[in-house]
Amino acid sequence: MADRPLTEPHPSRLTPEHPDRARILAVHAAALAAGEAGYLDPATGLFVLSAGFLARRGTCCGRGCRHCPYVDD
């Protein structure tokens, strides 16, 4: 796993300049705290997997998940 907290996505997956970054990080943090598999993206309404769920899977699936805890480059 990458050397960063599960609450912090890799910048290539969610840029610091993203207009909905604060809202995304808030709903992601709530999903992590509740142990949920994911959350509804506040901008698109699509279901996004949480870093906690992805970490429990054990490996990266290679599909470019926003909160992939294995991305470190």
Could you tell me if 20 and 38 are in contact, meaning their C-beta atoms sit under 8 angstroms apart? Answer: no
**29: buried, middle or exposed (CB in 10 Å: 19+, 13-18, 0-12)?**
middle
Count up the domains in the chain and report the number: 1
Specify the pLDDT at position 73. Answer: 79
Give the total residue count for the chain. 73
Please write the tens of the pLDDT for every residue from 20-68.
999 999 999 999 999 999 999 999 999 999 999 999 999 999 999 999 9
Specify the pLDDT at position 22. Answer: 97
Domain that holds residue 29: 1-72
Specify the pLDDT at position 15. Answer: 97
